Amino acid sequence: MSTSAAPSVLFVCVHNAGRSQMGAAFLTHLAGDRVQVRSAGSAPADAVNAAVVEAMAEVGIDISAETPKVLTVEAVQSSDVVITMGCGDACPYFPGKRYLDWKLADPAGQGVAAVRPIRDEIEQRIRGLLTELGIETAA
């Protein structure tokens, strides 16, 4: 058993209202306390996308209480892995961090039917990330 602290993962998209919220929710759901999870946006929305909340509820994950958060330099500096989802040049870069840029459709303005495939792709990518990190899924 490793004595090192749990790895930390930061999910970043522009509004922190869709993709990054789903990524953080899936990672928390699947890894529990074995990973520190954060999400943020370069220009946070006022609320999480309602269709995203509904799509996640369909798979038993409640994100209705989540709120978009602003991306800070400190959040990036304190993360081992930074997963960007369409934030472009707004994401600060620090040497020594692992960056993954996940090209995913934007759920903004979409209904739940359009969000489902995005949700499912994010879940598969999260499962792959956990495998890479050597962390077994809790669910």
Which one-letter DSSP state was computed for residue 42?
S
Report which of residues 92 and 3 the model is more confident about.
Answer: 92
Q: How far apart are CA 122 and CA 107, in angstroms?
A: 12
pLDDT at 3: 40
Report which of residues 78 and 2 the model is more confident about.
Answer: 78
pLDDT tens, residue by residue, 20-79:
999 999 999 999 999 999 999 989 999 999 999 999 999 999 999 999 999 998 998 999
pLDDT at 137: 84
Residue 112 in tokens: 């739940």
Provide the 3-class DSSP secondary structure of residue 98.
strand
pLDDT at 87: 67
Q: Rounded to two decimals, what is the model's pTM? A: 0.92
Q: How far apart are CA 91 and CA 81, in angstroms?
A: 13
